[in-house]
Structure 1
Amino acid sequence: MTVHRKLLINGEDVAALSGRTTEDVNPYTGEVYATVAAAGVEDVTRAVDAAEGAFEAWAATSPFARRRVLLAAADLLDSRAKEAAEVMAGEAGGTVPWAFFNVALAANILREAAAGTTAPRGEVLSAQEDGVLGLAVRRPVGVVAAFAPWNAPLILGIRAVAAPIAVGNTVVVKASEDAPIACALFLADLLREAGLPGGVLNVLTNAREDAAEIAEALIADPRVRAVNFTGSTGIGRIIGIHAARHIKPAVLELGGKNAIIVLDDADVDYAVDAAVFGVFMNAGQICMSGDRILVHQSIAEEFTAKFTAKVAALPAGDPSDPSTVIGPLVSVGAARRVADLVTDAVAKGATILTGGGEPQGAVHPATVLGGVTKDADIHHGEAFGPVCVIATFADDDEAVALANDTDHGLTCGILTENGTHGLAVADRIHTGIVHVNDQSVADEPQAPFGGTKSSGYGRFGGRWGLEAFTTTRWVTLATKHAHYPF
C-alpha cells in the first residue's frame, strides 16, 4: 500500500499550495513507496511564518517543559523501532541492523538534547567598572533552517532539529527527497505526539527538480537566523555560499575520504573485523565509512587475505531480511555510479581483489580494490558505496602522509594494540574525529561531531551542538550610578 504524506506546517498536515506531489521510490523493488507533497517557494514562506510565530512562546517555555517533550519523543521512538525499520527499508533500502542502530542513537540524541535544556547558559564576567555586574548570556537565535539527509535518516534527522529545539529555537526542516518520511515526517510525528507545540518544527518535502530553489528560498528568508546541513561536500558548498551571502552562521557536516590505518602492532583478526564493519555498514553509505584501508607492509598479506575472504562472504540483497549486510544503495543510479568508479580504477591499473561486476538493480557487490593509481577517480573522490581500496605503507610517516592526502578531514580509525603508538599517530592526522584501536565509524550524542577542510565546519553533539544554535549576548547591571563626563 502506498503511503501518502503532506507538509507539516504549524502543527497541521497540509497540502502544497500548488497541489503538486512527488513520488518516493523503494530502491530495492523499484516500486513507489510513498507520495509526498511537493512544496514550492510559497510553502517555504508559510513554514517560516509558522516558525517565526511560534518562536517567542517556545523560547519562553521553561527548560523543564522542553525537556519533557524531548524525553517523551525518545521513548516513543524506542517503542516504534519496528515501524522505523520498515520505513527505512521502504524508502532508502536500510537494513534491519542499521535501522535499529539508527533508532537507538537517535533516541539518545533526543535524551542528550533534553539534558542540555538545563545546562548553564552563560558566564559571569569581570567588569572594568566598579559596581557593575557583567554577564555573557546565551540566547536562542530564532528560526533555524535544517537540512536532513537520507543515509542515516533517523540519526541525522533528529540531529538536525533536537539541539535547536532544546535551546528554544524553532525549526523549518527541508527533508531529503530520498527519505522524506524517515528523516523528517516520521520524527516530526513523534515530537508532535510527545507534546511539541505547533510551529516549533515544520517539515517541507519537495520534488527533486525543485530542491535548489526551495533550499535557496529557505536560507534567504530574513527571519531564518541559522542554518545546519548534513550531506555531500558539493551541495554543502552551495549551502555555505547561500548562508554566507545572507550573513547567517552555518554548521556544515559534509563528505569524507576516510582512512582506516592498520599499524604493524595491530591484532590482525580484530583489525579485519573492524575494517569490514567500518567500510561496509549501510553498504558504505555513511560519511564516516572507510574508503581507504592502509596496512603496514609486514602484515599486509595476512590482512588482505582474511579481509577479502570476509568481504566476499557478506550476505547481500533484501534489506528487510535481518541477515542482510549489503543492502541496496539509495538508487539504481547510485549503484551505477559506484560501478563506474570501479571500472575507471581497473582501466587505470587497479586490481579487483573481490567483488566487482555489474550491480543488480540498486545492489552493488561488496568490492575491494588493490593497486589503485592516483589518476583514478576513486583515489580522491568519496566512494559512498560498498567499495574500498587497500594500500600498504612502510612506516608511520608514510601512513600519516597517505591518510592526510585528501581534501577531506572527517574521521580516521587507527588499529593498534599499543595505545601510546596509536595516540602518537592520531595526533598527526588532519581530521575532526579519530578513533584509536577502532575503525572510522562512530557517533555518540555527547561528543563533538564534525570535520575539517572540505568535510565542513562547526560541530554537532553535546554542548558544542547547543552552542551552535545560540548567540551570546553581553548584559551589564550597574549597582550604582555611573559618572559621565558631560
Structure 2
Amino acid sequence: MTIARHYINGEWLAEGALDDSTNPADGSLLGQYHRGSRDLTDQAIAAARTAFLAGGWASSPRRRAAVLFEFADRLEAALDDLADLIVAENGKLRAEAVGELRGSISEARYYGGLARTVLGRSFEGEPGNFSIMHREPCGVAAIIVPWNAPVTLLVRSLGPALAAGCTCVIKPAHQTPLIHARVMECLADCPSLPAGVVNSVNENGIEVGQALVTSPHVDTISFTGSSQTGRHIMAAAAPTLKRVGLELGGKAPAVIFGDADIDRAVRELTRGSLMMAGQICVAATRLLVHRSVEAEFTRRMVEAFRAVRVGPGHDPASEMGALIDKPNESRLLRLIEQAADEGELLLRGAQPGGALTQGAFVTPSLFRIDDIGSALVQEELFGPLVSIEPFEDEAEAVEKANATVYGLAASVHTRDLERAMRISRAIRAGTVWLNCHGRLFAEGETGGYGQSGLGRLHGVEGLNDFLETKHIYMEQGVL
C-alpha cells in the first residue's frame, strides 16, 4: 500500500498518524498518508528559510531554470503512471488527467525559460543620479493546493515561485495526498534541486494551513480554493502583513446571442460546464441566452446533457467522471431539489445507481431560473448543475453576467466581432473566451475580479506574487 510522507529539507519523513485515501469512483482504499502538524510545518519553514538565506538559490537563475526543466522531464517520463493515479484518487476522466499533466509539464518548462529573464530596469533621474530597480525574490512562499487539479494547480504556483528564486513549503489537499507525493518524488529526483528549497507537509484538519498562514517566517501565500477559505487566509495573514495571492471561486457566465453558432456553442458549453464533473472554478455554470434562441438552445443543451455518459474515469466510454467524494454527491442532490423548488428543472440529475452506487456520481442537471438573487445563481455550486437565464438585449446580458460577486471567467458566443468585443470588455472577469470556453495555458494570465481573488497566475505576471522590487540609488556625479 502506498503511504504518502512529508518531504522536508531533502528527506522523506514518516511522522504523524495515518489517514486513508480512497477512490471516489468506487470507495476502495488506495493508500494512506501521514498527517502533518504545526511542528513539522515549522521545521519545513525553517528549512526553506535557511535555503533561501544561505544556499545561493536566490541568486542562481540558471540553476533554477535547470530544476524546472528537470522537473518537467521527470513528469513527462512518469506521465502514464501519474495519470492513472490522478484518475484513481481524484475521479476525473483519464483524458482530463492527461491534459492536466501536459499542462503542468508545459508550465514547468515555461517558467524554466522565464527563470533566466527576470529583468529590472535602470534610469538616470537627474545628471549623475543613477537608479537601479532590481527584481528579487520575496523569500519563503507557502503554496496551498486544492484537490480538483492537484498537479496543475501546484505547478502553476510552484513554477513561478522557483523561477523567481523563492523557496517553498507546500500543503497538498487531504483528498489527493498520493498523487501529490508522487509528484514530489519527481521533484526530489531533480539533481539540481538543493535540499530545503522545496518542502511539503500533509494536512491535518486545518492545522498545517493555519501554521503556514500565521508564520512570521513565511513571506507570501499562494492559495487556490474557495472564496470563503480565501477570506479566512487574508484575515489570518493580516497580523504578519504577508503578501497573499488568491485564485478563488467562480460563477462563470456564458452569454449566447441570437446569431451564435448554436452547434458550436452547445458543443463548447457541454464540455465547458461538465469538465471535471463541474468541479472547476472556470466551469460555465450560468448560460445566459437571448430569448430569440432560448427554446432551441435549451432543447439542444438538454439533449446534450442527457446524452453524457457518467462513469469511472478509467473507462474510455465515460464522458464525465466522479465527484470527489460521497458528501459532495449528497450536497449536489440537495441542490438539485432546491433548483426544482426555485426554478424549472429541465433535466434532473441523480445518482446513477447500479455498478456506480458505491461511487460519488451525479448525472448532469439543467434548470431555468429568472431570479438572479437566488443562491443557486449567486453561489458557486461546484458540480454538474447549470442554470439557463434568458435576456432581451446586450445591456441586460451584461447586467446579468456581472450580477454576482465573482469575476473569474466568462464566455461570449456570437458571430458579430464588434459585439463580441463590446461584451467582453463590459464583463468584469479575469478571462473572457470568445466562441469557446475553458482554454487555459501557461502563457496566458488567469485570475479574478471581485471575490474571485487577488493577483494573477500563469504568464509573465505569475512571477509578481513572488518578487519584490528594490530601488538601489547612487549619486555618482558627472564628468
Range class of TM-score, shorter chain: over 0.9
Tell me the CA shift for residue 330 of structure 1.
0.5
3-state SS of paired residue (2:72): helix
* Separation of aligned partners in 2, 1:239 and 1:180: 21
Equivalent residues in 2 for 1:293-442 (5 A)?
293-348=287-342, 350-358=343-351, 360=357, 361-371=359-369, 373-374=371-372, 376-439=374-437, 441-442=438-439
1:291 to 281, 285, 293: 285
Tell me the CA shift for residue 82 of structure 1.
1.3
Q: Report the more deviating stretch, 281-290 or 185-194.
A: 185-194
Give the structure 2 partner of residue 230 of structure 1: 224
* Separation of aligned partners in 2, 1:219 and 1:398: 41
Equivalent residues in 2 for 1:48-447 (5 A)?
48-56=45-53, 57-128=55-126, 130-182=127-179, 184-195=180-191, 196-207=193-204, 210-211=205-206, 213-348=207-342, 350-358=343-351, 360=357, 361-371=359-369, 373-374=371-372, 376-439=374-437, 441-447=438-444
Tell me the CA shift for residue 198 of structure 1.
1.6
Tell me, yes or no, if structure 1 residue 6 matches structure 2 residue 5: yes
Deviation sequence 1:172-227 (CA, Å, 0-9, x none): 01111111232x322222122122222111111023xx32x221211222111111
Tell me the CA shift for residue 233 of structure 1.
0.7
Letter in 2 for 1:14: L
* Separation of aligned partners in 1, 2:467 and 2:449: 22
Tell me the CA shift for residue 79 of structure 1.
2.3
Deviation sequence 1:142-191 (CA, Å, 0-9, x none): 11111011101111011121111111110001111111232x32222212
* Separation of aligned partners in 2, 1:144 and 1:322: 39
Q: Which runs of 5+ in 1 are unaligned?
A: 482-486
Deviation sequence 1:270-325 (CA, Å, 0-9, x none): 01001101100110011100110111111111111111111111111111112312
* Separation of aligned partners in 1, 2:374 and 2:317: 33
How large is the RMSD of aligned CA atoms in angstroms? 1.7
Checking the alignment, whether the CA contact within 8 Å between 1:312 and 1:355 is kept in structure 2 is no
Checking the alignment, whether the CA contact within 8 Å between 1:23 and 1:34 is kept in structure 2 is yes
Deviation sequence 1:408-467 (CA, Å, 0-9, x none): 11000101122221011111101111112222x221211221001110111111221112
* Separation of aligned partners in 2, 1:100 and 1:223: 36
Deviation sequence 1:74-101 (CA, Å, 0-9, x none): 1221222211111111211121011011
* Separation of aligned partners in 2, 1:464 and 1:276: 31
Tell me the CA shift for residue 372 of structure 1.
5.6
Tell me the CA shift for residue 53 of structure 1.
1.6
* Separation of aligned partners in 1, 2:235 and 2:417: 41
Tell me the CA shift for residue 47 of structure 1.
0.5
* Separation of aligned partners in 1, 2:150 and 2:472: 40
Give the structure 2 partner of residue 15 of structure 1: 14
Checking the alignment, whether the CA contact within 8 Å between 2:2 and 2:178 is kept in structure 1 is no
Tell me the CA shift for residue 355 of structure 1.
3.4
Q: Percent identity?
A: 30
Letter in 1 for 2:440: D
Checking the alignment, whether the CA contact within 8 Å between 1:345 and 1:372 is kept in structure 2 is no
Letter in 1 for 2:236: H
**Moved >6 Å (runs of 4+):** none
Letter in 2 for 1:91: E
Tell me the CA shift for residue 120 of structure 1.
3.9
Tell me, yes or no, if structure 1 residue 472 matches structure 2 residue 466: no
* Separation of aligned partners in 1, 2:294 and 2:124: 58
3-state SS of paired residue (2:194): coil
3-state SS of paired residue (2:165): coil
Letter in 2 for 1:343: E
Give the structure 1 partner of residue 34 of structure 2: 37
Letter in 1 for 2:7: L
Letter in 2 for 1:165: L
Deviation sequence 1:382-413 (CA, Å, 0-9, x none): 11101101121111111111111101110001
Tell me the CA shift for residue 62 of structure 1.
2.5
Checking the alignment, whether the CA contact within 8 Å between 1:58 and 1:200 is kept in structure 2 is no
Q: State the TM-score, normalizing by the size of structure 2.
A: 0.95
Letter in 2 for 1:356: G
Deviation sequence 1:325-368 (CA, Å, 0-9, x none): 221100111111111111012122x2222232346441011111
Deviation sequence 1:24-55 (CA, Å, 0-9, x none): 12111212212111111110111111111211
Checking the alignment, whether the CA contact within 8 Å between 1:326 and 1:386 is kept in structure 2 is no
* Separation of aligned partners in 1, 2:235 and 2:123: 35
Q: Which runs of 5+ in 2 are unaligned?
A: none
Letter in 1 for 2:65: R
- What count of residue pairs does the alignment treat as equivalent? 472
* Separation of aligned partners in 1, 2:293 and 2:410: 20
* Separation of aligned partners in 1, 2:56 and 2:25: 41
Q: State the TM-score, normalizing by the size of structure 1.
A: 0.94
Checking the alignment, whether the CA contact within 8 Å between 2:3 and 2:178 is kept in structure 1 is no
Structure 1 residues 230 and 60: alpha-carbon distance in aligned structure 2, compared to 1, 3 A threshold: closer
